[in-house]
Structure 1
Amino acid sequence: MPAAGIPARSAVPSTTDPLTPIWHPSPNFGPRRDGLKPSLIVLHYTAMSSAVEAVERLCDPEVEVSAHYLIGANGTLWQMVKEQERAWHAGAGEWHSKDDINSRSIGIELDNRGDHPFSARQMTVLETLLKEIMVRWSMQPSSVIGHSDMAPGRKSDPGPRFDWQRLERQGLASRRGHGEGPQDAPNDIFRALARDAGFSANVDDDTLLTAVRLRFRPWGKGPLEPADFTPLGHTAPWT
């Protein structure tokens, strides 16, 4: 049974018609600081047992967390905070050396525990929502990031099961580089390339490698290897 105030919905919106989210306001928001406008979209997973449970938590004033949107596994879309307002979803972290990500971003939660694939219905609604937000706020594919990108070591969502390459193919996330990476390149070159890509948080080498792999090659294991350089898309430092 849906929670009180949450209408049931099973039909997935068209990929061409505008989305009409279920409005379920959260008290956990405030004004964006310093006149900032959204320039990023941060993707999360809920790590909870159901979308209804997640909606309730994101609207609980005692918890003091929220997001602008939540997409259920069945494609149901809720909106909890207006895009113009500052939702409390990102926490501490930075991207391209910019902090206060909450004031710079729109947060989208995906109903997923983090240990299983994201449903086709959910991904279809996400793609439509991303397109609409990107048009409204004149965002580029590089504006779409994961929570783990801006908070390496602290967060791991949307996790290793999220299909970033699906978004890349549609121009909804930055395309990864291709080609061969360098042999025996030092960590400082990897760190410089990662920083150029946006991973600017002050973390140790292993934490940075884990964050980059979560985004581009979550199957990667062990120490830094040539394949870890490839998705960052730069060859000049080793040619």
Structure 2
Amino acid sequence: MHIIDGRLDIAHWCPSPNFGPRPPGNEGEVNLVVIHNISLPPGQFGGGYVQLFFQNALPVDEHPYFTEIAALQVSSHLLIERDGAVTQFVNFNDRAWHAGRSVYNGREDCNDYSVGIELEGTDSEAYSAVQYATLIAVIRALQQAYPAIGMRITGHEHIAPGRKTDPGPAFDWQYLQHTLAQSGN
């Protein structure tokens, strides 16, 4: 797995219009990974609705929840589905709109300097083994392409406490950190 010109080589490319340039200079240096979860409709997996949501094309007549979120313009760099399939929505060199109001180690506006990775899931349902394997491989590729990331990996819940809860208590941070540390990353 490699990153070439800001794109993950194994990812299906599904461009989102919801992105912008990173700030110039060190303010825009990619040095953080933010892990999220998403399922559309909530608690349901598959169906391609996340992809449509990030493309501002959610069919509001297919589920009542969709009318509540259809006007939102959000994105993430990647989605890792339950089966490990990866979709990329925004080039890593660009600023995806995934974190909103956020702070990491006293620094605001995490979108400016982070990569957002959505896991198909919920706060309370265990993530699949293949999702973890794919996430770890993606993080290793990101660490190679953007060395400033190091072990700066956090959850949406940690950078927007009280506002966000994902990836939630079902996410195994200890396993992720242990596995990454074993490889020397």
Instruction: Give the 3-state SS of the residue equivalent to 2:33 in structure 1.
Output: strand
Runs of 4+ in structure 1 displaced over 6 angstroms? none
Partner of 1:103: 112
Amino acid paired to 1:112: G
Displacement, 1:63? 2.4
Contact in 2 for aligned 1:39/1:137 (Cα 8 Å): yes
The Cα offsets for residues 64-103 of structure 1, whole Å up to 9 and x where unpaired, read as: 1000000000111000000000000000020111001001
Displacement, 1:147? 0.3
Contact in 2 for aligned 1:40/1:104 (Cα 8 Å): yes
Partner of 2:150: 140
TM-score for both structures, normalised by structure 2: 0.79
The answer as to 2:178 corresponding to 1:169 is yes
Closer, same or farther in 2 for the Cα pair 1:127/1:19, shift >3 Å?
Answer: farther
Alpha-carbon separation, structure 2, partners of 1:40 and 1:98: 11
Instruction: Give the 3-state SS of the residue equivalent to 1:165 in structure 2.
Output: helix
- The runs of 5 or more residues in structure 1 that have no matched partner are 1-12, 173-239
TM-score for both structures, normalised by structure 1: 0.62
Displacement, 1:114? 2.1
Displacement, 1:19? 5.0
Displacement, 1:60? 1.0
- The runs of 5 or more residues in structure 2 that have no matched partner are 2-7, 58-70
1:1-239 matched pairs, under 5 angstroms: 20-35=10-25, 36-48=28-40, 49-51=44-46, 52-60=48-56, 62-138=71-147, 139-141=149-151, 143-171=152-180
Displacement, 1:53? 1.2
**Greater mean alpha carbon deviation, residues 111-120 or residues 44-53:** 44-53
Alpha-carbon separation, structure 1, partners of 2:15 and 2:9: 17
Displacement, 1:122? 1.0
Contact in 1 for aligned 2:136/2:180 (Cα 8 Å): no
The Cα offsets for residues 178-220 of structure 1, whole Å up to 9 and x where unpaired, read as: xxxxxxxxxxxxxxxxxxxxxxxxxxxxxxxxxxxxxxxxxxx
Alpha-carbon separation, structure 2, partners of 1:19 and 1:168: 24
Instruction: Give the 3-state SS of the residue equivalent to 1:129 in structure 2.
Output: helix
Instruction: Give the 3-state SS of the residue equivalent to 1:44 in structure 2.
Output: strand
Closer, same or farther in 2 for the Cα pair 1:19/1:170, shift >3 Å?
Answer: farther
With a CA cutoff of 8 Å and minimum separation of 6, indicate the structure with the bigger relative contact order: 2
Instruction: Please identify which structure carries the higher strand content.
Output: 2
Alpha-carbon separation, structure 2, partners of 1:144 and 1:133: 11
Displacement, 1:167? 1.0
Amino acid paired to 1:81: V
Contact in 1 for aligned 2:38/2:120 (Cα 8 Å): yes
The Cα offsets for residues 3-27 of structure 1, whole Å up to 9 and x where unpaired, read as: xxxxxxxxxx8xxxx8510000000
Displacement, 1:171? 2.7
Alpha-carbon RMSD across the aligned residues, in angstroms, is 1.6
> Between Structure 1 and Structure 2, whose CA radius of gyration is higher?
1
Contact in 1 for aligned 2:29/2:113 (Cα 8 Å): yes
